Amino acid sequence: MAILDIILTLVLIALIVFIVVNLANRRRRRPRDSVSLYTMALNHMLHGEDDTAIRLFRDVIRRDTDNIDAYINLGILMRKKDKTANAIKIHQGLLYRQEVNAIQRLEILRNLVEDYIKAGDKIRALTYVESIINIDKKNIWALEKNHLLNRDLGRWEKASEYLEKILAIKKEHNDRLLALYKVQEGLVQYKAGEYHEARLIFRKALRIDPLCEAAYYYIGNSYVLDHRESDAVEEWIKFADIAPQKAHLIFKSLQTILYNLGNFGNIESFYENLLKRLPGDPMTLIALAGLYEKKGNANRAINILEDLVEKNPNLAVAKIGLVKILIGQTRLTQATNILSEIIEQMVDTEEYVCANCNNQSREIQWLCPVCGMADTYFTKA
């Protein structure tokens, strides 16, 4: 029995040694093979050969299920191929893997942010951004994503908070943009009919940037809606003083209110003062001509508009205003000739265009709703 036990023990030891050696050899072969395949897959990925890269990454994963980077890159390619649900499944699954290191975890979270943005779920994307910030409070990529996602979601207070953090880290200043974000925050209250609360926020914007004309513009508008016309005029005068090139936005409303308040005579001096700062400004000259027409001085109005058209032959709005007055003065031949010019030109309706992304809007925008850039809108001629 003792000899048999010895033999069985020796056989068992030999079997164990064989298994251990075999497993060691397999482990040595598999990483070498998977590393080579992984390198090939990365090369194809870098050259835009996505289908081949996907096939090779899948081969890597079959051979070495511990290759976390292969999973990450496979998910990236799934997202690129618009298979966003697959990308999310792959990347989310990696969060539960024990062998994931700190750098890989951040990379997985970054990709989940991109996955959910691609899927159109910015709120879920934001949760993963916040997970990154919990790990690394100064992660500039995550802070910028947080800022942009909150901006896109209309969460202006949070967007401002993270924009301030980014500017502090970069040691930069952008009071103009911070003030415009505060204006956007106020517009939420403004559109809800909470005009007093909106004004409080607009005035915070002015404390950030005293030259933020958008704040004065909307404060004035809110006073009109609260039936405080005199206060509206005061704010609009400040608006025009800071941004004379945008003063035409208030011409019609200001003129109506001053007329109702019995201060119609102040309008002419308002336009004249603007022209001292912006000589030859078409919008101001057109408004001034309209004022003279209403006061019964048609010849003065015609002279202003004729001079304006001569200097700006493609300015359709000036031509139309001139035609209107000419018809009133029964100067029909001259009016008909100008109308013929307008028809030939086929000038489009005035729009505002973003110089950065070419987004078009019928209303003035201080902050582009598409690209988020400030002060990029100009009048489409």
State residue 345's pLDDT score: 66
Secondary structure percentages of the chain, helix, strand, coil, to 5: 75, 5, 20
User: Which pLDDT value is given to residue 21?
Assistant: 47
DSSP string, 202-233: HHHHHHH-TT-HHHHHHHHHHHHHTT-HHHHH
Helix (H) or strand (E) holding 181: helix 175-191
For residues 348 and 329, what is the distance between their CA atoms, to the nearest angstrom? Answer: 27
Q: Which residue positions in the chain have pLDDT lower than 50?
A: 1, 20-21, 23-30, 32, 347, 381
The pLDDT tens digits of the residues spanning 325-370 come to 888 877 877 777 777 776 666 545 567 889 899 888 878 888 999 9
Q: Are 118 and 86 in contact (CB under 8 A)?
A: no
Which CATH topology does 31-149 take?
1.25.40
- 200-227 in b/e burial notation, b at 16+ Cβ within 10 A? ebbeebbebbeebbbbbbbbbbbbbeee
Q: Where are the domains of the chain?
A: 31-149, 348-381
Task: State residue 347's pLDDT score.
Answer: 47
Per-residue pLDDT, 16? 56
d(CA 328, CA 293): 10
Residue 15: the pLDDT is 54
Structure-token pair, residue 63: 């051979």
Helix (H, G, I), strand (E, B) or coil at 353: strand
**Spatial CB neighbours of 301, under 8 Å, sequence gap ≥ 6:** 289, 290, 292, 293, 325
How many helices and strands in the chain, by DSSP H and E? 18, 3
What is the predicted pLDDT for the residue at 127?
97
Task: Give the per-residue pLDDT at 29.
Answer: 46
Question: Is the CB of residue 338 less than 8 Å from the CB of residue 323?
Answer: yes
The Cα-based distances of 286 to 154, 249, 281 in angstroms read: 37, 13, 9
By the 8 A CB rule, do 81 and 42 touch?
A: no
Spatial CA neighbour of 361 closest among 338, 381, 377: 377
* Interval 118-168: pLDDT, tens: 999 999 999 999 999 999 999 999 999 999 999 999 999 999 999 999 999
Q: What is the pLDDT of residue 364?
A: 81
The three-class DSSP label of residue 141 is helix
Q: Pairing relation of β-strands 360-361 and 377-380?
A: unpaired
pLDDT of residue 28: 47
Output the DSSP codes for 47-85: TT-HHHHHHHHHHHHHH-TT-HHHHHHHHHHHHHTT-HH
